[in-house]
A = this chain, B = another copy of it.
Amino acid sequence: MKAIVTVKLKDVVLDPQGQAVLGSLSKLGYDFVKDVRVGKVIEIEFDKVRKYDDKIKELTEKLLVNPIIEEYTINYVSEK
């Protein structure tokens, strides 16, 4: 089974990486672009154990996300 964890900076937090991309895009002439925000997508492949969703949530909050400045979503994909 697979968990797709998407981690993004909270909207109120300045995104320097996004601002850098935005600056490059305007230098390249892509003026129609108004804002850019960069986040992480973490794919976790795992064996389907009991209460796996609680465990995935726990390891996400423990290791993958800084809850002060970041927010996350978890989507599950069962593989063929």
Chain A positions near chain B (C-beta within 8 angstroms): 6, 8, 18, 21, 24-25, 28, 30, 32-47, 49, 52, 55, 59, 62-64
Q: How many copies, total?
A: 2
Contacts of A32 in B (CB 8 A): 46-47, 49, 52, 55
Pick from B33, B43, B46: contact of A44, CB under 8 Å: B33
Q: Are B35 and A42 within 8 A (Cβ)?
A: no
Can you give 9 A-B contacts (C-beta < 8 A)? A8-B41, A21-B64, A30-B59, A35-B44, A36-B42, A36-B45, A37-B43, A38-B40, A38-B43
For A62, the closest partner residue in chain B by CB is: B28
State A63–B25 Cα separation when bound (angstroms).
8
